Structure 1
Amino acid sequence: MGKILVSIARILVGLLFIISGLIKLNDPVGFSFKLEEYFSPGVLNLDFLTPYALVIAIVIVVFETLLGVMLLLGFKPKFTTWSLLLMIFFFTFLTFYSAYYNKVTDCGCFGDAIKLTPWQSFSKDIVLLFFILILFFGRKHISTVKFAKSGTFIALALCIIYVYYVYNHLPVIDFRPYKIGANIMKGMQIPENAPKSIYEYAWKFKVNGEEKVITTNGDYPTVDGEFIDVKTTEIQKGYEPPIHDFTMEIDGEDHTEEIMDLNHVLVVVSRVINEADEKGLQAIKKVAEKAKEKGYRVIGLSASNSEQIAPVKEKYGLDFDFYFCDLTTVKTIVRSNPALLELQKGTITQKLHYNDADEFVFSKDVVKQPEINTALKKQLDSIYRLDQGIREIYYAKSKAKKDSIAKEVGIEVQEEVNDYMDKIWPVIDSTNMVAVDKIIDQYGYPGKSLVGEPTDKVAWYVIQHSPKIEEYLPMLRKEAEKGELPKRLMALMEDRYLMQQGKMQIYGTQGSYINTAEGRMPIIWPIKDPENVNTRRKEAGLDTTATVEEYGKNLFGDDFEYEVLTLEEMKKMEE
């Protein structure tokens, strides 16, 4: 019976150590990042080991894999079982420490292939400890195969060759959410029915001179006492999308959606640019220059700040902008520093280590993309914040909300909020229009190819809030035809202009209120050829409110019923 139990433990432990070791062997750089997390001052406070994390990671994963092989082959059973026992004691301590003190949320036992919580990892190690103890005390039953010695050395040689290859290239199997074929934007989405986090709230009150704690799931308890404090505990973790904390920022402005909407984007990734391999930067520079010539949009992505990036850009002649992203995220995206990514509408189509930079495959159907004017984009984004901010302040329901928005936008409210808004609103709209006039005089309409999305809509917003719609209408029509401005916005502008002229609108995008004998009444402004309005709306890209009937309810509430009116009928109702 003892021999059978040892045989079962031998197979289970051996296979588990080999699988765990090979997964980490496939990505030794990733495992070294996990060790750095353990070595940090906030966990084990062994920061002096951080510079050696990669070497330690390689030694551990090779040894772990080798122990599994040695156990199955029965090579040096005494050494093997002692090593297994010491290793599992160490791992059990580490996982318990992580779980109890909530220091490291993922132990990294199986790399990115299988994510385990600290308590799950600890439980796994307890089970392993049980089987390893069986092996330790029953090692006399571990038989040795004939080729145990040669098999062990072959396994060692293969491990060294494999780890050398993946370190100098990239993991053979990519278990991360940024693997080739993954779409970044889809990876950030949360399904509608995804489970949400559940929290427990411990409310502390002083009741009749004594402290009393009442626990709820969020509701403020009805207690006749003085509130002291509340402590929040997450008792059930909600759904977390595979990709999170991913941003592409310049000067605090998030350009993620803009970049994710482009085809043929070459991204030069460097987690910490000061630590990037020099030969790697030189190799990648050649690819970036060729990509620009062929019409690719070339950008950088790094966790380094502009002061760290500037001298490196100058030294290596890197003629493209670097966008900021969180260090942990950049480390997860790709293990090489630097590296290359190709994005097609947010989908990763190529990912290369700097040693393989010359293997980058250029698409043949690239249409040369104009460079985004980042300075102009920043100016227009500031204009947009004022244009929309003043309106958000005015329509906010509470004064606290109004003050909060005003602070965020940078408008100092000095009087009764709405009275002050009535005074400053026309001033802001007028000032914005002057700025947009100058921009259009210098650049033409600042559309998608000049400032990217969604900034291409800013000038449109300012014009529609001005008395200059008629002046700019022909230009806006041409820009919409060229794709520089969404067609749906052009439909809104056409309707607004027609309504201002007292004419029938085309797409049914404009609502109004009229004064009737029964009181103030909401209407959809009269529409030309109302029978076919929904077809025109669809053709104009007004898909968010597919029909004029639905649009009316969005404007005025669920009780609103759309009524077809002519201009004459509307005027009679007003009488």
Structure 2
Amino acid sequence: MKLITQISRVLVGVLFIISGLIKLNDPVGFSFKLEEYFGANVLNLEFLIPLALAIAVGVVIFEVVLGVMLLVGFKRNFTMWSLLLMIGFFTFLTFYSAYFNKVTDCGCFGDALKLTPWESFSKDVVLSLLIIILFFNRQYIQPLFGKVAVNITVIAAFALCGLFGYYVLNHLPAIDFRAYKIGTNIPEGMAIPEGAPKSEYEMVFIYKINGVEKEFTDKQLDKIPADAEFIDRKDKVVKQGYVPPIHDFSIEKDGEDFTTAMLAEPKLILLVSYDLNKASDEGLNKLETFAKQAQAKGYKVIGMTSSDEGTIAKKKADHKLTLDYYFCDATTLKTIERANPSIVILNKGTIVQKAHWNDIDNVEL
């Protein structure tokens, strides 16, 4: 049992550190995932949405530090209770996601490793078993060093995590695991290979019978009572086909699609703000000067947002912006870049440079 405990200790500690560091590399992305969980259609904790980023940073730093605490043997009772409570929380979230199919990606490993809801839940069940073994055999968890060295190690881990989190929040993720990383050709990322499996759908009809809504597939239409009231029809995915790495990307304006034309431009700059109401005022103030400098060097500069025309007009007036804003889905824009606003430079559809608005003066034109 002592050997099993030490093996579990290493596995849990290392996994917590890796998982936490991946999310700490992109805390804004993890906060978007928390916002999904806090939404009205999931946990209905909308009052926590404004705090999502702070919670995300706090959770991932604590996750990394917990892994370090376990490995070095820091305050084992506190560490074990903390591990037990955290894995219990994560297991609840992943089960909820899997069973109710509410959040299709838990974000456990950020964009570095995508897991299905049931894979995430299975992973947490295994981790729970390992932590339970550690909890009931914690007498075998002894400090690796003296008390002072152990304390210094934990404090150093906490401080380094804080500095790393501060850096990525004010710049960009140190490692980009997303589909829009530098070097990616967007048209190629949207292409579907010839012969790729296609999604299969099943039509589901919703009828109200005696005041209760019931669902019927297209194969059960003969079972619908004559007095049933039709409510809606939806398409349910029976088998998921090939989904390209980049999807839902578009550049639209006034109902017209400019995607193909824009991606053919040899020198194109996208100034991305998924929501102009949430964009940094300091960042927006820097865009006009940058846009003029870029245009003078032959670049086509456009804004990208999911905000409505009224918001666009107000923000352009407030910050004296003369560039045109084009529409794109908010989720897609969040995936392209985390800063709001941010700068993305393309050469015929290939991403050649990305920058946080804090680093706008360092962009190479």
Query: Same fold per TM (> 0.5)?
Result: yes
Equivalence for 2:252: 249
Of the structure 1 ranges 331-340 and 192-201, higher mean CA displacement relative to structure 2 is found in: 192-201
Q: Could you tell me which amino acid in structure 2 is paired with residue 195 of structure 1?
A: P
State TM-score, norm by structure 1: 0.58
Amino acid paired to 1:349:
V
- Rate the CA distance shift 1:74–1:293 in 2: closer, same or farther, 3 A: same
**1:177 paired residue number:** 179
1:102-130 deviation line (CA, Å, top 9, x unaligned): 11011011111111111111111111111
Counterpart in the other structure of 1:186 = 188
Structure-1 residue corresponding to 2:107: 108
In 2, the alpha carbon distance for the partners of 1:225 and 1:175 equals 48
1:195 aligns with one of 175, 194, 197: 197
Q: Identify if the C-alpha distance between structure 1 residues 191 and 283 changes in structure 2 by more than 3 Å, giving closer, same or farther.
A: same
- Of 299, 306, 310, 1:307 maps to 310
Q: Aligned to 2:95, what secondary structure does the other structure show?
A: helix
Distance 2:354 2:301 in 1: 14
- Equivalences for residues 31-110 of structure 1 within 5 A: 31-110=30-109
**1:203: how far off?**
9.5
Q: Do the aligned partners of residues 39 and 203 (structure 1) sit closer, same or farther apart at CA in structure 2, a change above 3 Å counting? A: closer
Shift of 1:317: 2.0
Structure showing greater relative contact order (alpha-carbon pairs closer than 8 Å, 6 or more residues apart): 2
The change in CA–CA distance for 1:203 and 1:166 in structure 2 (over 3 A counts) is closer
Contact 2:97 2:103 in 1 (8 A): yes
Work out the number of aligned pairs and report it: 350
Distance change >3 Å, CA 142–CA 345, structure 1 → 2: same
- In the TM superposition, 1:127-526 aligns within 5 A as 127-146=126-145, 147-199=149-201, 233-362=236-365
1:3 maps to a residue whose letter is K
Deviation at 1:194, TM superposition (A): 1.6
Are the aligned partners of 1:283 and 1:358 in contact in 2 as well (CA < 8 Å)?
Answer: no
Take 2:223 and 2:172, find their aligned partners in 1: how far apart are those partners? 63
For 1:168, give the aligned amino acid. N
SS of corresponding position for 1:342: strand
SS at match of 1:323: strand
Contact 2:2–2:140 (Cα < 8 Å) also in 1 = yes
Matched to 2:279, the amino acid is A
Q: Do the aligned residues in 2 keep the contact of 1:190 with 1:241 (CA within 8 Å)?
A: yes
Whole-angstrom distance in 2 between the partners of 1:223 and 1:313? 57
**Residues 200 and 222 from structure 1, CA distance in 2 versus in 1: closer, same or farther, beyond 3 angstroms?**
closer
Q: What secondary structure, in the 3-state scheme, does the structure 1 residue paired with 2:302 have?
A: strand
Q: Deviations over 1:280-302 (max 9, x none)?
A: 12223221110111111110001
Q: Which runs of 5+ in 2 are unaligned?
A: 207-214
Paired with 2:334 and 2:204, the residues of 1 have a C-alpha distance of 37
Q: Deviations over 1:366-416 (max 9, x none)?
A: xxxxxxxxxxxxxxxxxxxxxxxxxxxxxxxxxxxxxxxxxxxxxxxxxxx
1:162 Cα offset (Å): 0.2
- Partners of 1:232 and 1:309 lie apart in 2 by 34
TM-fit CA distance, 1:223:
8.5
Deviation at 1:198, TM superposition (A): 3.1
More divergent stretch after superposition (121-130 vs 142-151) = 142-151
Deviations 1:350-374 (A, max 9, x none): 1000010001111xxxxxxxxxxxx
The one-letter code sitting in structure 2 at the alignment partner of 1:133 is I
The equivalent of 1:550 in structure 2 is none
Residue 351 of structure 2 aligns to a residue whose secondary structure is: strand
Report the 3-state secondary structure (helix = DSSP H, G, I; strand = E; otherwise coil) of the residue aligned with 1:116: coil
CA distance in 2, matches of 1:312, 1:232: 39
AA aligned to 2:49 is: T
Contact 1:284 1:340 in 2 (8 A): no
Structure 1 residues 261 and 86 mapped into 2: Cα distance closer, same or farther (>3 Å)? same
**Is 1:95–1:119's contact at 8 Å kept on the other side of the alignment?**
yes
Counterpart amino acid of residue 329 in structure 1: T
Q: Counterpart of 1:382? A: none
Deviations 1:277-333 (A, max 9, x none): 122122232211101111111100011111101121122221211000111111111
Q: 1:3 to 1:289 in 2, by over 3 A?
A: same
Write the deviation string for residues 127-169 of structure 1: whole angstroms up to 9, x where unpaired: 1111010010011111211122111111111000000000000
2-side partners of 1:5 and 1:314: how far apart? 65
> Which range moves more in the overlay, 283-292 or 169-178?
283-292
Contact 2:267 2:300 in 1 (8 A): yes
- Name whichever of 16-25 and 148-157 sits farther off: 148-157
Shift of 1:236: 2.3
Alpha-carbon distance between aligned partners in 2 of 1:157 and 1:344, rounded to the nearest angstrom: 40
Contact 2:250–2:257, Cα closer than 8 Å, also in 1: yes
Question: Shift in Å at residue 199 of structure 1?
Answer: 3.9
Aligned residues: CA RMSD:
2.3
